[in-house]
């Protein structure tokens, strides 16, 4: 039985690349309007999350985020890969 985490790695990826590299392929080859709309929605979501975080940790969120990222590097890496897959899926589902 294949390891779930292996799906996120280049050498074992059934899709022939990392989530990041496949995401880049999708955004450069998908319909420009769909990609633009999804990236705008993603940035708006990140902006809202940054404002929420700022309310909880103060104005120096960059340092707080970096400290968190260093302390939780593996979890952050997995979440980033998951976000690439999620956004790529959203773009591809609208491109059909």
Q: What is the CATH number of the domain that holds 31?
A: 1.10.3350.10
Which candidate, 69, 72, 75, 73, places its Cα nearest to that of 5?
A: 75
DSSP structure class, residue 4: G
**Positive or negative, the Cα torsion across 6, 12, 16, 18?**
positive
Kindly state whether residue 11 falls inside one of the protein's structural domains: no
Which two tokens mark 82? 């998951």
User: Are 84 and 20 within 8 A, CB to CB?
Assistant: yes
- Report how many domains make up the chain: 1
| pLDDT at residue 3, as a whole number | 52
Kindly state whether residue 7 falls inside one of the protein's structural domains: no
Kindly state whether residue 58 falls inside one of the protein's structural domains: yes
Residue 1 has pLDDT above 50, yes or no: no
- Domain interval for residue 29: 19-94
Residue 2 has pLDDT above 50, yes or no: no
17 or 73, higher pLDDT: 73
Kindly state whether residue 72 falls inside one of the protein's structural domains: yes
At residue 34's C-alpha, the angle toward residues 4 and 37, to 5°, is: 95
Cα 23 from Cα 33, distance rounded (Å): 16
For 34-91, how does the pLDDT look when each residue is reduced to its tens digit (9 = 90+)? 999 999 999 999 999 999 999 998 888 889 999 999 999 999 999 999 999 999 999 9
Kindly state whether residue 48 falls inside one of the protein's structural domains: yes
Kindly state whether residue 2 falls inside one of the protein's structural domains: no
Kindly state whether residue 6 falls inside one of the protein's structural domains: no
Kindly state whether residue 62 falls inside one of the protein's structural domains: yes
């Amino acid at each position: 039985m294949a390891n779930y985490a292996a799906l996120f790695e280049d050498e074992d990826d059934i899709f022939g690349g990392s989530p990041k590299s496949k995401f880049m392929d999708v955004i450069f080859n998908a319909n420009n309007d769909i990609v633009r709309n999804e990236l705008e929605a993603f940035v708006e979501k990140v902006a809202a999350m940054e404002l929420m975080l700022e309310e909880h940790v103060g104005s120096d969120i960059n340092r707080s985020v970096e400290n968190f990222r260093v302390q939780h590097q593996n979890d952050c890496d997995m979440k980033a890969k998951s976000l690439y897959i999620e956004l790529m899926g959203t773009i591809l589902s609208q491109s059909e």
